[in-house]
């Protein structure tokens, strides 16, 4: 498939690898409030360069200068919309491959559920609820929303209580230096106001397979 000039930066991600082996991801975002589940977003994700390097580090391990770990955390943020229009998500451009974090992260935590839907795919699910967890100073918008998410590789050690962290509040939490963003996605804004007792559920599926 030949891409137009303004999308050429995507070629390494859509063309078949030489050896026929590839990795692709898919993200589904749901919002639950008052017992009603709303589908917010359902599409392929965007795997960033730092994430690909982290996968290589995991494969070679500490013996080859890499590290031990796995995909085990996710993050959500409110910087994924076009300025002045919270319902219009930012679209991938030539800067996305080099990103190492969300545009404005609100909260990161451990993944809640790990499954294997097929022999060569992995599914990760995390539930985000702002009640008692999110300091209002961590938002970048007056509206308390989420409109971006990321999948994170790290040491793979889960913590009781899901180890929630906020890196952009007035007194920011620290995060482990080995946590690396594998992939990200922006989507239309969904309310994340604790007054609504809302839960945002992110379901991420990563598939490793030979190209047809």
Tell me the per-residue pLDDT of 26-58, one tens digit each, with 9 for 90 and over. 999 999 998 999 999 999 999 999 999 999 898
Residue 79 tokens read as: 């910087």
Residue 206: inside a domain, yes or no? yes
4: confidence class by pLDDT, cuts 50, 70, 90:
very low
Residue 38: inside a domain, yes or no? no
Nearest to 198 by CA among 13, 34, 22, 9: 34
Residue 54: inside a domain, yes or no? yes
pTM, 2 dp: 0.88
The alpha carbons of the chain give a radius of gyration, in whole angstroms, of 17
Residue 171: inside a domain, yes or no? yes
Q: How many domains does the chain have?
A: 1
| Residue labelled with tokens 């990760």 | 124
């Amino acid at each position: 498939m030949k891409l137009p000039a303004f999308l050429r930066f995507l070629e390494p991600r859509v063309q078949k690898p030489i050896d026929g082996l590839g990795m692709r991801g898919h993200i589904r975002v749901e919002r639950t409030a008052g017992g009603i589940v709303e589908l917010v977003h359902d599409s392929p994700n965007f795997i960033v360069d730092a994430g690909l390097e982290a996968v290589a580090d995991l494969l070679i391990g500490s013996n080859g200068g890499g590290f031990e770990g796995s995909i085990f955390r996710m993050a959500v943020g409110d910087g994924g919309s076009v300025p002045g229009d919270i319902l219009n998500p930012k679209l991938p451009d030539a800067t996305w491959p080099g990103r190492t974090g969300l545009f404005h992260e609100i909260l990161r935590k451990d993944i809640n559920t790990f499954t294997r839907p097929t022999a060569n795919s992995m599914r990760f699910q995390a539930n985000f609820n702002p009640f008692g967890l999110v300091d209002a100073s961590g938002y970048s918008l007056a509206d308390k929303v989420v409109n971006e998410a990321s999948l994170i590789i790290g040491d793979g050690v889960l913590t009781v209580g899901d180890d929630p962290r906020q890196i952009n509040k007035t007194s920011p939490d620290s995060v482990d230096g080995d946590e690396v963003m594998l992939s990200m996605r922006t989507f239309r804004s969904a309310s994340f106001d604790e007054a609504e007792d809302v839960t945002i559920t992110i379901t991420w599926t990563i598939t490793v397979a030979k190209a047809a």
